[in-house]
C-alpha cells in the first residue's frame, strides 16, 4: 500500500466527528473510496456531500454499539469490492468520581468505545485478510496511563489499546496490521462537549486546566484533528509496513512521564 489510495476502500466509524471527518478528508485527498459510518445522520450526510466532489463516498448511519449495525456497515463496505483500511473513531467521553458512576454511563461508554471497536475489527477481518489490509483504532493517552475521574473512559480505552496488541499478533500471519493511535486532547466536538458538560460553567477554565497538564508549559496547545489524521494515514501507508500491534502516542509527551497525563 502506497500513499496513493485510489484503488483502496477505507471504512471510518465516527466519521462525522472531529477526528473521523479529518481522517475521511485525508484519505479522500489520496483518492480512496470511503465508507463512512456514524450515529449522527445529519452531519454524516453533510460530510458525504462535501466529499462526493472528491471521491466515491458511501454514508451508513449506524450505532457501533449494535453488532447488527456494524455488520451492515462492513457489508456496505465489502460491496465496493474490497476493504483495505478500517479506522475506528466512534467514541464517547464520560468523567466524574468513580463512586458516582451509573450503570448506564458504564454501558454507554464501554459499548461504544470498546465493544463497537472490537466488533468492527472482528467483522472486517475476513475482508482485510483478502487485501492484507490494516486497522487503526482511536485509543487515547487514557488508554496508556491512569488519571483521576476518568475510570470508565480509561477502562474502555485501555481495552482498545490491548485488543489492538492482541489482534496485531493474531492477524500478523495474514499480514493484516492492527495499530492504535493514542492522542491527548484534540480540539474537536468531543473536547468542547467535555468543557461544556464538566467545566462547571467555565469551559475556558476547563481547557486551561487541561493544558496545565502538558510539559510544554505556557507553549502548550491542543492537538488538531488533522495532525491525528496524518498519523492515521501514515499507519495505513507502505512505510508503516513493519508497524503492528503498536500504540502510537501523539500527546505532546503527556503520557511519557509521571505528573503530566490528563
Ligand X SMILES: NC(=O)c1ccc[n+]([C@@H]2O[C@H](COP(=O)([O-])OP(=O)(O)OC[C@H]3O[C@@H](n4cnc5c(N)ncnc54)[C@H](O)[C@@H]3O)[C@@H](O)[C@H]2O)c1
Smaller CB separation from ligand X, 5 or 120? 120
Per rule CB under 6 A, is residue 14 in the interface with ligand X? yes
Of the candidates 113, 127, 20, 126, the one whose C-alpha atom is nearest the C-alpha of residue 64 is 113
Using CB under 6 A as the binding rule, whether residue 191 contacts ligand X is answered as yes
Q: What residues does 21 pair with on adjacent strands?
A: none
59 binds ligand X (CB under 6 A): no
Q: Which residues contact 2 (CB under 8 A, 6 or more apart)?
A: 237, 238
Residue 150 interacting with ligand X (CB under 6 A): no
Among 5, 78, 112, 152, the residue binding ligand X under the rule CB under 6 A is 112
Q: Which three cell numbers stand for residue 183?
A: 492522542
Contact 179, 244 (CB under 8 A): yes
Q: Is 95 in the site for ligand X (CB under 6 A)?
A: no
C-beta of 33 vs 140, nearer to ligand X? 140
Grid cell, residue 105, equals: 454511563
Considering the rule CB under 6 A, would residue 90 count as an interface residue with ligand X?
yes
Nearer to ligand X, 80 or 255 (CB): 255
Which one of 60, 64, 114, 151 is in contact with ligand X (CB under 6 A)? 64
Q: Which helix (H) or strand (E) holds 60?
A: strand 57-61
Query: Dihedral, CA atoms, 184, 189, 191, 196, nearest 10 degrees?
Result: 180
Binding of ligand X by 38 (CB under 6 A): yes
- Supply the residues annotated as catalytic: 153
Task: Please provide the distance, in angstroms rounded to a whole number, between the alpha carbons at the two ends of the chain.
Answer: 35
Q: Which is nearer to ligand X, 163 or 191 (CB)?
A: 191
Instruction: Compute CA 13 distance to the chain's CA centroid, rounded to the nearest angstrom.
Output: 8
Length reported for the chain:
262
Q: Count of residues binding ligand X (CB under 6 A)? A: 28
Is residue 18 at the binding interface for ligand X, with CB under 6 A as the rule? yes
Q: How far is the CB of 63 from ligand X (least distance, A)?
A: 4
Q: Which residues bind ligand X (CB under 6 A)?
A: 13-14, 16-20, 38-40, 62-65, 89-92, 112, 138, 140, 183, 185-186, 188-191
Amino acid at each position: 500500500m502506497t500513499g496513493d489510495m485510489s484503488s483502496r476502500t477505507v471504512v471510518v466509524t465516527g466519521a462525522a466527528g472531529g477526528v473521523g471527518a479529518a481522517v475521511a478528508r485525508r484519505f479522500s485527498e489520496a483518492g480512496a473510496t470511503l465508507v463512512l459510518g456514524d450515529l449522527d445522520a445529519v452531519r454524516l450526510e453533510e460530510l458525504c456531500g462535501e466529499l462526493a466532489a472528491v471521491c466515491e463516498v458511501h454514508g451508513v448511519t449506524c450505532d457501533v454499539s449494535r453488532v447488527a449495525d456494524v455488520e451492515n456497515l462492513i457489508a456496505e463496505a465489502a460491496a465496493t469490492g474490497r476493504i483495505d483500511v478500517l479506522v475506528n473513531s466512534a467514541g464517547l467521553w464520560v468523567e466524574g468520581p468513580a463512586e458516582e458512576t451509573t450503570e448506564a454511563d458504564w454501558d454507554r461508554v464501554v459499548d461504544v468505545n470498546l465493544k463497537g471497536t472490537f466488533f468492527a475489527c472482528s467483522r472486517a477481518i475476513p475482508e482485510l485478510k483478502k487485501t492484507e489490509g490494516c486497522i487503526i483504532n482511536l485509543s487515547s493517552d487514557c488508554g496508556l496511563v491512569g488519571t483521576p475521574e476518568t475510570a470508565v473512559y480509561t477502562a474502555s480505552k485501555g481495552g482498545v489499546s490491548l485488543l489492538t496488541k492482541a489482534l496485531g499478533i493474531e492477524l500478523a500471519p495474514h499480514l493484516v496490521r492492527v495499530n492504535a493511535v493514542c492522542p491527548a486532547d484534540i480540539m474537536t466536538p468531543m473536547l468542547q462537549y467535555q468543557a461544556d458538560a464538566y467545566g462547571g460553567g467555565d469551559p475556558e477554565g476547563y481547557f486551561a486546566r487541561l493544558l496545565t497538564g502538558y510539559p510544554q508549559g505556557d507553549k502548550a496547545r491542543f492537538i488538531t484533528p488533522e495532525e491525528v489524521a496524518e498519523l492515521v494515514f501514515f499507519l495505513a501507508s507502505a512505510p508503516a509496513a513493519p508497524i503492528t500491534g503498536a500504540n502510537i502516542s501523539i500527546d505532546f509527551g503527556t503520557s511519557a512521564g509521571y505528573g503530566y497525563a490528563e
